[in-house]
Chains A and B, each alone.
Chain A
Amino acid sequence: MIEVCNLEKSFGTHKILEGVSFCINKGESVVIIGRSGGGKSVLLKHLIALLKPDAGQVRIDGEDIVPLDERQLLRVRRKFGMLFQGAALFDSMTVAENISFAFRRDRSLPQDEIARKVAHVLELVDLPGIETKNPSELSGGMRKRVGLARAIVYRPQIVLYDEPTTGLDPIASDSIDKLILRVRDRLDVTSVVVTHDMRSARRLGQRILMLHEKRIYAEGTPDEIFGSRDPIVRQFVEGTSEPTAEKGILLPYE
């Protein structure tokens, strides 16, 4: 279970998050939406303590991770897998080395067992047989799949997705969405997805949180968010540059 209480974060004089609070239950699939530069990725990175807040708490299974130092956090981070916006594959390693990175560091598994796990997880992300390829040989969509394979190979309890479909064509985006759903259902993980792709948000989220003006502005099921009459929410859902209600346009959901 993830609990965020009154989170605040600034970079210099620029305040990004102010009093952000929410809760994500075990096994739940939550999508965080909001405008580009609105602090969604910053918020996501706080959940795994890649960033430290100026104030507030982040509790993972009841434990506040904010006061923990980098070494203490290693234990907490074993519960997480994360897919980065640009996949963040280690470019000096092959696909197999990327995926098996932590296994090789732990030295807890024999080589053939590691190879079997890598092959299995590559099957799961529909990329069998690419173990020996380098990240530079892969397309954007393939890199994200390998990034996802690396995130889930350790069977984490929580998977974080930072803009998983950004920069991909609609077909590749669709396949990544399906993959996220498949991972959620097969591995029974808690998923937190940050996106501004509304089609993905509707498909992936059991619950949607909208970050606006440094706070959680709206929260609800996809149907509630997409059916909302609030002008700010409508503007985002519709993808218009000005709040639609203010312009007096009849909304399709009204």
Chain B
Amino acid sequence: MGFWGQWISDWLEGLGRLTLLAKDTFTSLFTFKVAWRDLLYQIYFVGVKSQSVVLITGAFTGMVLGAQTYFQFHKVKMDTATLAVVSVSMCSELGPVLTGLMVAGRVGAAIAAELGTMRVTEQIDALRTLATHPVDYLVVPRLLALHLALPLLTAESIAIGICAGYLVGVYLLGIDPIYSWYNMLRYTGTTDVAVGLLKALIFGGIVAIIGCYKGMTCGEGAEGVGRATTEAVVYSSITILITNFFLTLTLGKILHTL
């Protein structure tokens, strides 16, 4: 088998293992009693501790989007549509995607590093000898925490992004606040918000499953943990971007036909 044949074979094998982990996790969700203490700790780590990163990202994205949209719309005298563009973009695309990417960088990396270290120091094997399924103890609380935290973080990011865009547009660039606000409410539907939150829910699952998979299958030693951490971030980010495209396309079609 040549280089590319081996690469494709390894890639397919990895995808198969990832699917099996997702299946195991899904089974565990319905059969296993959730340890609330572990879940609360993960929600704190994933959600509360990620807020500063997500809020800064959301705020500056809203600001730069507001400024750039204004510069373009000003040429065609559509200044008051600026906030509507910021709002729709933040709700359905930039909010969930950027929050997903930031959480993949912060939390996905931490999950892969923690589980990878546990694997190389035989702590995961020790769990198994103590009659504990690693998926129940390690994956399920992280998955639930990310499913819960990412939509909330996204909502925060959207809100602060719109507020920041409003401040830049109205107070720095001089857009009319009343018409801007009116246009924003007119062109932003509840479906935009719902799409954004649904995407965030799915991105949370992607970050959790890829982070846990990379950690639990990492190679030996410090190099193995380092590689697993990098791969968790890279693969989560790429998967989020690709999934986002298909979600936009699919949800757009579905909502268009309703």
Contacts and interface: CB of A to CB of B under 8 A. Distances in A.
Interface of A: 45, 48, 50, 70-71, 73-75, 77-78, 80-82, 84-86, 88-91, 101-102, 105, 150-151
A218 to B, nearest CB: 29
Interface residues of B, number: 16
Interface in B132-189: 132-133, 135, 137
B249 interface: no
Contacts of A84: 122, 125-126
A77 B126 contact: no
B132 A85 contact: no
B132 A86 contact: no
B142 to A, nearest CB: 14
Interface of B: 24, 35, 118, 121-123, 125-126, 128-133, 135, 137
17 contacts: A45-B125, A70-B128, A71-B133, A73-B128, A74-B131, A74-B132, A74-B133, A75-B131, A77-B128, A77-B131, A84-B122, A85-B122, A89-B126, A90-B123, A91-B123, A101-B132, A105-B130
> Ordered nearest first, which 6 A-B pairs have the shortest CB separation?
A88-B126, A88-B122, A82-B129, A74-B131, A102-B130, A77-B131
A88 B125 contact: yes
Contacts of A73: 128
Contacts of B128: 48, 50, 70, 73, 77
B228 to A, nearest CB: 18
A102 B129 CA distance: 10
Contacts of A82: 126, 129
A80 B133 CA distance: 15
Contacts of A75: 131
Contacts of B133: 70-71, 74
A89 B129 CA distance: 12
Contacts of A86: 121-122
A121 to B, nearest CB: 14
Nearest to B126: A88
Contacts of A48: 128-129
A50 B180 CA distance: 62
A80 B129 contact: yes
A90 B126 contact: yes
Nearest to A90: B123
Nearest to B132: A105
A102 B133 CA distance: 11
A89 B132 CA distance: 15
A8 B128 CA distance: 22
Contacts of A90: 118, 123, 126
Contact of B123 (A50, A71, A80, A88): A88
A117 B24 CA distance: 33
A81 B129 contact: yes
A77 B35 contact: no
Nearest to A107: B33
